[in-house]
Amino acid sequence: MSDASPPIAPPGAGAALVTAADLAVGYSAAPVLTGVSFALHAGERIGVLGPNGGGKTTLFRALLDELRPLAGELRLAVRAGTVPQTERSRLDFPVSALDVALMGTIAGRPWWRRPGRAERAAAHAALRRVGLDALAERSFGELSGGQRQRVLVARALVQDARIVLLDEPFTGLDNVSAQRLEQLLDELAAEGRGVLIATHDVDQARAWDQVLCLNRRQVAFGPPAQTLTLDVLAATYGRSIVTLPQDGGERLAILPPHHHDHDH
């Protein structure tokens, strides 16, 4: 992969990378998420919104083929790459940033072959793209939260994943890191990759191409400007949403999870 990869496909064109039709997923026979119908095309960024327990992670697990659909259909044109939450990976694991990027070469080579010169070059190129080649030999656990997210983006780039899933990638990032990551996501989409981002930040999702609102079922899907209405947000976040008076209108605010009244 070169530093300036040509677009894989023109944005929004051609067949969908992901299609879900009335999809239901869950861990046992009882689904925890139902009625999901959306499509992800090349070059699109879809923000996946919803409260904790609303089904964002469950949907991602289905997209990663860890959960089978209980009903409906889920089709992926190619295998998805993923940028998991780094709190879940072992920060004390003895690997460097380069090692993590090299994990992206596993699927692409026969199982008896070790990563060679070409694979190492691809891993370095991907780290350079996310601005971290200087830290290639640094231990993964010693990197900052934003840097770890970018190393995992580099791993997805090495995989040349055309579908990239990001699970709450902005959680715990400072402003500079968040901006840098946001810019990187824009670049991935501009190259013709399809990007799905689970987030808590409604305002951030307004800048993306589509939003998918989940609260144990699909509440809405569409372009943010038309989709993120007060009704949709209220149905998505339930009681944890409040309106705040603001100059020239009202502003929505979503209370952090520990603020709600738990009625279970």
Partner 1 sequence: MLDVLTEPFSAGIMQRALLEILILGAVGGALGCWIVLSELSYGAESLAHGMFPGLVVAALAGVPLLLGGAVGILVAALAVALAGRIPGIGRDNSVAVVVTTLFGLGALLALSPDVPPGIQGLLFGDILGTTEGDLIAGAALAAGLLVALRLMHWRLLAVGFDRSSARAVGASPLVADAVLLTLLAVAVLVAVQGLGNLLVVAVLVAPAAAARLLCRRLLPMMVAAVAIAVAAGIAGLYLSYYAKVAAGASVAGLMVAAYLLARLGALVASARA
> Counting Cβ atoms within 10 Å, is residue 118 exposed (0-12), middle (13-18) or buried (19+)?
exposed
The DSSP H or E segment spanning 103 is none
Residue 171 found at the interface with partner 1 (CB under 8 A): no
The DSSP H or E segment spanning 172 is none
Residue 104 found at the interface with partner 1 (CB under 8 A): yes
Nearer to partner 1, 48 or 220 (CB): 48
Per-residue H/E/C for 182-244: HHHHHHHHHCCCEEEEEECCHHHHCCCCEEEEECCEEEEEECHHHHCCHHHHHHHHHHHEEEE
Residue 84 found at the interface with partner 1 (CB under 8 A): yes
Task: Give residues 58-77 in contact with partner 1 (rule: CB under 8 A).
Answer: 64-66
**What sign for the dihedral angle of Cα 117, 187, 44, 165?**
positive
Query: Pick from 40, 48, 80, 241: which binds partner 1 (CB under 8 A)?
Result: 80
How many binding residues for partner 1 (CB under 8 A)?
35
Task: Give residues 127-146 in contact with partner 1 (rule: CB under 8 A).
Answer: 139-140
Residue 93 found at the interface with partner 1 (CB under 8 A): yes
Residue 89 found at the interface with partner 1 (CB under 8 A): yes
Residue 153 found at the interface with partner 1 (CB under 8 A): no
Question: Which residues contact partner 1 by CB under 8 A?
Answer: 64-66, 79-82, 84, 88-90, 93-96, 99-100, 102-108, 111-112, 114-115, 139-140, 152, 155, 159, 161, 165
